[in-house]
Amino acid sequence: MSLTPSEDRNVFLKIISHAKEYGFVFPSSEIYDGLAAVYDYGEYGVELKNNIKQLWWKTMVHLNENIVGLDAAIFMHPLTWKASGHIDGFSDPMIDNKDSKKRYRVDHLLEAKADELIEAGKNTDAEILLQTMNQLLAKEDFVTLKTLLETEKIVCQVSKTANWTEIRQFNLMFSTEVGAVAEEANKIYLRPETAQGIFVNFLNVQKSGRMKIPFGIAQIGKAFRNEIVARQFIFRMREFEQMEMQFFVRPGTEMEWYNKWKETRIKWHKALGFPSNKLKFHDHEKLAHYANAAVDIEYEFPFGFKEIEGIHSRTDFDLKNHQALSGKKQQYFDPEINQNYIPYVVETSVGADRTFLAVMCNSYQEETTQQVIKAEDGTEKSETKTRIFLKLHPCLAPIKVAIFPLVKKDGLPEKAKEIMELLKYDFNVIYEERDSVGKRYTRQDLIGTPFCVTVDYETLTDQAVTIRDRDTTEQKRVPISSLYSLISDAVSFKRIFEQL
RNA sequence: GCGGAAGUAGCUCAGCUGGUAGAGCGAUAGCCUUCCAAGCUAUAGGUCGCGGGUUCGAAUCUCGUCUUCCGCUCCA
């Protein structure tokens, strides 16, 4: 059954407040009224996110003999971003029309005008216009650029007026200064993607790891982008974390690998528990400057199908540019064909925060049941009860097992703590003795703990406990000695790997 | 940046036509309790987003401002 848009919106709002209420995600700097599009992960959020990252790392690096890891710095030499195209390709000047309130990219307006000129047969005029535009863009001469808009009589499509604001620059990258003395400081950027750290280390890793093509380098790390609109909670943030793998292949074989990684990666998402009908591929029609094929894996969030992973055939664009700019050969000698070449690259890049959000959305469950309540005077009435729980895959759950003494006396707490001692070195365990046991079960449901172990009076004589399943709320009585393997089996990453 | 909505306790909200803040849930401490948030007692927690104005007196009226959410522009 599908929900209406407003119901979806409601569910999403509930997930956001659930995430805050139960320590998964907090708005950044909240005591100072917050910082837009930045979020912090709370005590359970950090566990869940770490589990997602670990699972990805094991899947990519440990399960593939020809993929190794890397942890490159966030700061990189400024020329890196020249080579990657981020400096020239992503500093777009924008302008608003004061009447229609519409915002445009200045280059788009001028390009449209050039197209008009070509249609009118004035090819030379169009060429001159574009040339002038590119020169002004390169010089960042926005004043003259605005004059150009005016002399070309460019109007807004909606208001049909030329009542423009000043031109403003949109900067994708965050900059900062390296150098303790202000005058000697150099402007550098916080990386807008992790990929470049891999590319500039391509030869280091290839040589020290004696890697043979095809091989991959994987990295998990933060990246920073000045998004124009930051919306949808942690879906689009200024500071975010990517899990990337760059796979270096022989030129000409890139499409084979592209298709292979497409299939491999969507399988991973399915194994995480995302249902097939909530996942789909979305091919890019307009390709980025570096790619010859690109596809997104999209998950159906409450606000629609949105990208969680991108798979790109990046050709030799990056390595070629780094070779040109650094003057250092970025080549590989392939003994099989006795040739030197710049490898082609197939990239898989999945957002850690987006996967986190998809996992939250996918696991948030509201279960409504009717319960008959007997009042003191003997009358009965039916009441609707809602049970909220996070149906997280046990291997991702922040807390694996909660241990409760049924009551807080008669040696039950001591016994429960003994069991905790038995498990805490291998699993993230929580102990609780406060409130009724029912309340404790509920609290664990809300953070997605798959198992609750309760010590009762019989435990003291039969060395057995009840273990309660989060999804069914059913209880089984099991010997204490069997707990370790029972939990270990359920929370192991193997449960994911065996589906790949 | 523009347009719309909203800001009172950790959460959900009440506070009518102005008289220096309340409830429920939650939290904490204790009591009670043999299994699914529902017993008892006590405690903590808010300069009502912020600033100015009107007034003897502002959470309440007014102006401004900030922040968040929704829509538009952009998105590797």
Predicted confidence (pLDDT) per residue in A306-356, tens digit: 899 999 999 999 999 999 999 999 999 999 999 999 999 999 999 999 999
- Give start and end residues of each alpha helix (H) in A140-253: 142-151, 195-200, 202-208
Residues A485 and A336 in one domain: no
Distance A86 CA to B76 C1' (A): 9
Which pLDDT does position A102 carry in this prediction? 67
- d(CA A192, CA A174) in angstroms, rounded, equals 8
Domain boundary among A321, A345, A361: A361
In a domain, A196, yes or no: yes
In a domain, A208, yes or no: yes
In a domain, A42, yes or no: yes
Residues A268 and A416 in one domain: no
Distance A450 CA to B32 C1' (A): 29
Strand B lies under 7 A from the Cβ of residue A474: yes
CA-nearest of A104, A106, A105, A115 to A159 is A104
Supply the DSSP symbol for A137.
Answer: H
- Out of A79-88, A249-258, A295-304, the most confident range is A249-258
In a domain, A367, yes or no: no
In a domain, A123, yes or no: yes
The ipTM of this complex is 0.85
Strand B lies under 7 A from the Cβ of residue A1: no
Distance of CA A461 to the CA centre of its chain: 49
In 3-state terms, what secondary structure has residue A260?
Answer: helix
Question: What's the total number of domains in chain A?
Answer: 3
- d(CA A68, CA A327) in angstroms, rounded, equals 26
Which pLDDT does position A398 carry in this prediction? 95
Positions of strand B less than 7 angstroms from a protein CB: 1-3, 7, 10-12, 26-29, 32-39, 49, 66-76
Nucleic strand B contact set for A 276-335 (CB, < 7 Å)? 284, 286, 288, 303, 310, 312
- Determine if residue A232 is left, alpha or beta; phi over 0 gives left, psi from -120 to 50 gives alpha, anything else beta: left
**Stretch (H or E) spanning A482:** helix A480-491
Average the pLDDT over each of A25-39, A242-256, A434-448 and give the range with the smallest value. A25-39
Strand B lies under 7 A from the Cβ of residue A438: yes
pTM, whole model, 2 decimals?
Answer: 0.88
Predicted confidence (pLDDT) per residue in A370-381, tens digit: 666 555 445 555
CA-nearest of A460, A467, A458 to A485 is A467
Domain coverage including residue A309: 5-74+189-361
Is the Cβ–Cβ distance between A247 and A257 less than 8 Å? yes
Supply the DSSP symbol for A36.
Answer: T
- d(CA A495, CA A500) in angstroms, rounded, equals 10
Mean pLDDT of A176-199: 82
Look up the CATH number of the domain holding residue A438.
3.40.50.800
Strand B lies under 7 A from the Cβ of residue A470: no
Strand B lies under 7 A from the Cβ of residue A476: no
In a domain, A31, yes or no: yes
Strand B lies under 7 A from the Cβ of residue A192: yes
Which pLDDT does position A251 carry in this prediction? 95
In a domain, A345, yes or no: yes
Mean pLDDT of A40-59: 95
Strand B lies under 7 A from the Cβ of residue A166: no
- d(CA A339, CA A352) in angstroms, rounded, equals 38
Angle at A284 between CA A196 and CA A3, to 5 degrees: 110
